[in-house]
Amino acid sequence: MHREDIEAIYRNDSRKVFATLVRRLKDFHLAEEAMHEAFTAAMQQWPSEGVPEHPVAWLISTGNFKAIDKLRRRAKRDSLQPELARRLAEIESANQSTNADEIEDDRLRLIFTCCHPAIDSKIQVPLTLREVCGLTTEEIARAFLVTPSTMAQRIVRGKAKIRDAGIPFVIPSSKDLPSRLESVLTVIYLVFNEGYSASSGTELTRVDLSDEAIRLARLLSELLPDPEVIGLLALMLLHESRREARTDRDGDIILLEDQDRTRWNQALISEGQSLVRRALRTRRFGVYSIQAAISATHAAASHAGETDWGQIVALYDVLRMADSSPVIQLNRAVAIAMRDGSLAGLEIIDSILKRGELQEYYLAHSARGELLRRLGQQDEAIAAFEKAFSLAKQEPELRFLRNKIDSLR
């Protein structure tokens, strides 16, 4: 096995290993250390000894032993303090064979732990993105528009709260599950979005994060077949169906209206549309189900000219009653522009920006630039695209905007 192969396992499975180690060790810092030591051991042993039959289980077991050794040395140094001795006994008793289902569930357990109501709601999502998904503090800070040091402090506070309050690493009972659901769904969708449109870097997407979010939603829908869980799963599947058509061979962005729809994944579309119908039939649906219905309407059109913009605007009107966030209003404005003309959409976007909302959101300025371009207002369109360029972080987005500006000039 080559180093690159082990690095691929690290990218795909390290958070799975970490989640199980956290449950066993009940210590984020110790679990992180143990996970890295396990992968170091793999780097040293696997090239000569070969890859074990179950590499993830091997890494968990190795990490667990590394943690036990560390605690034994510390216990010996500290004359076996009672608390340390108790922890050591707990970890040793947990060091037994772990089946695949248990490993898979551990990431969901960790999400519910990070989203426990005892933890500040402002900390829940960043903590989950860091500990469950392995995003860096810098990536999370950019997504929340705060400094890395501020975000690092929030994450540290969250981990300290789990430790000090003794928050259990368990999936809640069926009685408590519904009340904990909203924050968990928020986290899963944020994970998906980071994979579907990465916040920074050279690649537009991170498939590993999107796949993980979909897997977690499937697992959650089995535990709790709530309409909004089903709606979220449908929404992510419908978005995911378009992944291959979103960029050209050079990695440049292709807008929805210009995509080759024969490259859309029809199996994912079919499953997503079926789930949308299932969620809507309950009449207890919410924002994820409505957004999924909007995506399903796009998916039903074999080419852009067939899109039922009247239906999409109507769905946005329903969505706005449940979620009047500026981003929803922006998306509705674009739909209105497609139904009623660019000027109608531009007036709504200008009113959003005039209120001081979305001033730092590059997509608002990019959408405004496109509508100005269609109205023939070239200089104003260039200024809007330049503002969007100054706010974008992703290299494919920057190339897209630069091409827009160059073509107008």
User: What's this model's pTM, rounded to 2 decimal places?
Assistant: 0.74
pLDDT in tens, 124-146: 888 988 888 788 888 788 767 78
Highest mean pLDDT among 10-24, 210-224, 326-340: 326-340
Q: Of 295, 329, 307, which Cα lies nearest the Cα of 189?
A: 295
Q: Contact at 8 Å (CB) between 352 and 365? A: no
Cα 371 from Cα 93, distance rounded (Å): 64
Query: Looking at residue 383, what is its pLDDT?
Result: 97
- Alpha carbons 90 and 38: distance in angstroms, whole number: 20
How confident is the prediction for the chain on average, in pLDDT? 87
For the residues 100-125, what does the mean pLDDT come to?
Answer: 79
- Please tell me the predicted confidence (pLDDT) of residue 112: 86
Write the single-letter amino acid at 366.
S
Say which DSSP state 394 is in: B
Q: What tokens appear for 153 in the block? A: 């402090």
Q: State the residue for tokens 């890859």.
A: 51
Per-residue model confidence (pLDDT) at position 170:
82
| Site of tokens 């074999």 | 302
Instruction: Report residue 263: phi and psi, to 5°.
Output: -90, -5
Q: Which SS3 state, helix, strand or coil, does residue 201 take?
A: strand
**pLDDT above 90 coverage of the chain, percent:** 52
Question: Which of 103-117, 118-132, 374-388 is predicted with the least confidence, judged by mean pLDDT?
Answer: 103-117
**Which of 6-20, 178-192, 251-265 is predicted most confidently?**
251-265
- Could you state, in order of their start, the residue ranges of all structural domains in the chain? 1-98, 308-409
Q: Provide the CATH number for the domain formed by 308-409 in this structure.
A: 1.25.40.10
As given in the structure block, the two tokens for residue 394 are: 């992703």
pLDDT tens track for 318-344: 999 999 999 999 999 999 999 999 999
